[in-house]
Structure 1
Amino acid sequence: MVTISFIHYSENKWWAFKQMRLLPPEIEQVEGVIFSKLLGTGSGFGFSLKPDFSTYSLLIKWKDETTKDQFFNSHQLFQELVGKSNTIKTYLLEELGAHGSWYGANPFEEHAAYDGNQIAIITRARINVLKLPRFWSNVPKASKAIKEAKGLVFTKGIGEWPLIEQATFSIWENMEAMKNYAYQDTHKEIIKRVKQENWYKEELFARFNVKGSFQH
C-alpha cells in the first residue's frame, strides 16, 4: 500500500516550509514506513517553475495496512500536521509497477493487476544541469497538453528540489484516458526529445490503482 497526502496550509506557511528539512528523518523512523518523501509542490499543471508554498505532499510506501492505519489515526507526527494545516487529502494507492529509479532504487516494483477503475501516475525526473534550459522551455507546451487532456481527474507538480528534481502526480478516469494522453502527438514529441537529447540523469514512471481517498 502506498499513500500520497496533499497538505494545504492557509496559515503556518513558514512552519510548513521548515518541515521540508525537519520532518523527513522523523517519518523514516515511523514503524512500517518502507519509503517516504516529503515534497514541495508547484502552481499550475504539471512541472512548474513557480512553487506553491501553501501545499506540500507526503508520499509513503507502507509495510502493511495496520501500520498505515496507525499512522493516520493516531501517530503524533500526523496529528501535528493535521493541527497545523487547513486540510489534508490522502489517496490510497496500489502498485501496478514502475520502471526507472529514484536515487538508484525502484521503490514501486510490486505488480498488482489493473482493476479497471481510476489509475494514478507518478513521473519523476532528475534533470541534467546542462539541459535545464531545454527542459524548461518545453514545460509550457507540456502543461497545456495535460490541462486539455480528456479523462484527467487531478494533477499536481511535486518535487524535492526546485528546477532540478521534478515530478508530477496525476489521476485519470481509467487506463484508456491515460494512454490517450501519453500517445498524443505533443507528449510523444517531448518524450522523444528527452531520450534523444539526454535531458534526465534519472527518471521514474510508476502506475497505481486508486483504491480510495480520505480527508482530514
Structure 2
Amino acid sequence: MSVATLSLFRFASLRSRLWVIGQMALARRSAAWAGSARFVKLCGSGSGVGFTPQPNWSVWAIFAVWPDEARAREHIDRHPVFARWRSHAIEDWTIFLSPVSARGSWGGVNPLIDPSAERASRTAGPIAALTRATVRPQFALAFWRRVPDISKVIGSDPKVLFKIGIGEVPLLHQVTFSVWPDAESMAAFARQMGPHARAMQAVRDEGWFSEELYARFRVLGTAGAWGDKDPLADALAGAAAAGRRDAA
C-alpha cells in the first residue's frame, strides 16, 4: 500500500538558503529518484499556514509517494537527496501518511490512487488534509485579491495540530497541509468555513484553476523534530493508547 511523506527542512544561514534554491533545480531530476519514490515534488513554503503569496525563504519541503512504509522510512533515512538537505538544515521533520482518499490531479496525475487498497473514510487517530491548486497565470493577481485569507482561519482553530502552506511556483502552485486530531474535528472545521468555501467554489466555477488535488490521510508516524519538538507526538501517543484499549 502506497505511503506519502511530507518532509520539512529549516535552513538558517543565507548560504544554506541559497544552496537549497539551487537544489530546487538539481534535485528535481528524475535520475535522482530512480528506484525510490514514484512521485516527488520539491516545494518552497509560504509565510502563512495556507494559501499565501509571501514566501518563507527558510523552510523548504519534499512531498513524495513511495510503494510502502518500509521503503519510505528507508529512503527518508538514507536517500542522497534527503541526506544532503539534512546536512545543510538546522532541523528537519517528516510525516508518514497513509492515503484515505484523493481526487483530482497533481502534475497531470493522481499519485495517491491505490486500487489494491481501499481504505475507510472514517479512521481513528490524527487525520491530515492536503489541498493543492494550480492557478492559471492570467488569473493569478485577481485570485490573490479575491480569495479570503483562509490560512488565518486555519491557524486560529484551536483543534488543528499542525499546518503549513507550501508550493512549487510562487503565486501559481499552492498547497495547504494541515493535521487534525480526528476526522470529526476536520469535518467540523470544514462546516464552519462556509463563506471561504463559497469563495473558493466561485473561483473554480470561473475556471481560475487549471488543476486541483484534494487528499486525506491517516498519520502513520513522524521522524525528526520541528521547533525542537515533534508537533504530533502527543496525538500519536494518545491514538496508540486508545487502540490498545480497544483491542484489550
**Compared with structure 1, are the counterparts of its residues 13 and 95 closer, same or farther at alpha carbon in structure 2 (3 Å cutoff)?**
same
- 1: CA distance, partners of 2:65 / 2:31: 11
- The Cα of 1:18 is off from its aligned counterpart by 0.8
User: Is 82-91 or 107-116 further displaced after alignment?
Assistant: 107-116
8 A Cα contact 2:106 2:213, kept in partner: yes
Aligned equivalent of 1:143, options 147, 151, 156:
151
Residue in structure 1 matching 2:127, options 101, 119, 143: 119
Corresponding residue number in structure 1 for 2:5: 3
How many percent identity over aligned positions? 33
Match of 1:37 among 31, 41, 59: 41
Q: Which residue of 1 aligns with 2:238?
A: none
Q: Give the structure-2-normalised TM-score.
A: 0.80
Alpha-carbon separation, structure 2, partners of 1:156 and 1:139: 18
3-state SS, counterpart of residue 152 of structure 1: coil
Distance of 1:56 and 1:27 partners within structure 2 = 21
Deviations 1:85-122 (A, max 9, x none): 11110001001121111122111123423421111111
Which residue, 218, 223, 235 being the options, matches 1:209?
Answer: 218
Secondary structure of the 1:20 match is helix
Count the aligned residue pairs. 216
Q: What CA deviation, in whole Å up to 9, does each residue of 1:50-70 have, x standing for no partner? A: 111101110111112332232
1:130 and 2:138 are equivalent in the alignment: yes
Query: Helix, strand or coil for the counterpart of 1:183?
Result: helix
> Where does 1:28-177 land on structure 2 (aligned, <5 Å)?
28-110=32-114, 111-113=118-120, 114-177=122-185
Q: Distance in 2 between matches of 1:181 and 1:215?
A: 28
CA RMSD of aligned residues (A): 1.8
Segment of structure 1 superposing worse, 187-196 or 206-215: 187-196
Measured after TM superposition, the shift of residue 155 of structure 1 is 1.1
Relative to structure 1, the CA distance from residue 59 to residue 213 in structure 2 (aligned partners, 3 Å threshold; closer, same or farther) is same
Corresponding residue for residue 192 of structure 1: 201
For the 8 Å contact 1:9–1:86, the answer to whether it is kept is yes
Q: Which has the higher strand share?
A: 1
Note if contact 1:142-1:186 (Cα within 8 Å) is conserved in structure 2: no
Counterparts of 1:211 and 1:41, CA distance in 2 = 23
Q: Distance in 2 between matches of 1:15 and 1:139?
A: 33
- What 5-or-longer segments of structure 2 have no aligned partner? 226-248
Counterpart of 2:26 (choices 22, 41, 46) is 22
Question: Aligned equivalents of 1:172 and 1:158: distance in 2?
Answer: 18
Instruction: Kindly indicate whether the alpha-carbon contact (under 8 Å) linking 1:91 and 1:213 is maintained by their aligned counterparts in 2.
Output: yes
Structure 1 residues not aligned, in runs of 5+: none
Q: Contact 2:36 / 2:75 at 8 angstroms: preserved in 1?
A: no
Q: Counterpart of 1:57 in 2: which secondary structure?
A: strand
**Contact between 1:145 and 1:187, CA under 8 Å: does it hold in 2?**
no
Distance in 2, matches of 1:148 and 1:27, equals 41
Give the drift of 1:153: 1.2
TM-score, normalised with respect to structure 1: 0.92
Structure label with greater radius of gyration:
2
